[in-house]
């Protein structure tokens, strides 16, 4: 079995969220609901990355330096 591009994107979003919030990524991976498709495994419940308004402004400030 292979991961689909969608599943790889879901893993990357989980990693980004984990890094931003300094949280454990394992529970996110354990909660993934996977289905098999022609493209490979697909995550039916991909994570949603949320930024607080102050995080967004800090990211923009850091990127402009």
Q: Which pLDDT score is estimated for 50?
A: 75
The full set of domain ranges for the chain reads 5-64
Contact 34, 1 (CB under 8 A): no
Model pTM?
0.74
Q: Per-residue DSSP letters for 6-65?
A: HHHHHHHHHHHHHHHHT--SHHHHHH--EEEETTEEEESS-------HHHHHHHHHHHH-
- What's the pLDDT score for residue 54? 66
Per-residue pLDDT of the chain (65 residues; tens, 9 = 90+): 899 999 999 999 999 999 988 999 999 999 999 999 999 999 999 998 877 776 555 555 555 55
pLDDT of 63: 53
Per-residue confidence (pLDDT) for residue 15, from 0 to 100: 95
């Amino acid at each position: 079995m292979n991961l689909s591009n969608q599943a790889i994107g879901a893993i990357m979003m989980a990693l980004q969220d984990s890094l931003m919030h300094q949280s454990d990524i394992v529970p996110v991976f354990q909660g993934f609901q996977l289905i098999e498709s022609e493209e490979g495994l697909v995550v039916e419940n991909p994570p949603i990355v949320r930024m607080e308004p102050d995080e967004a402004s800090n990211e923009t400030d850091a990127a402009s330096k």
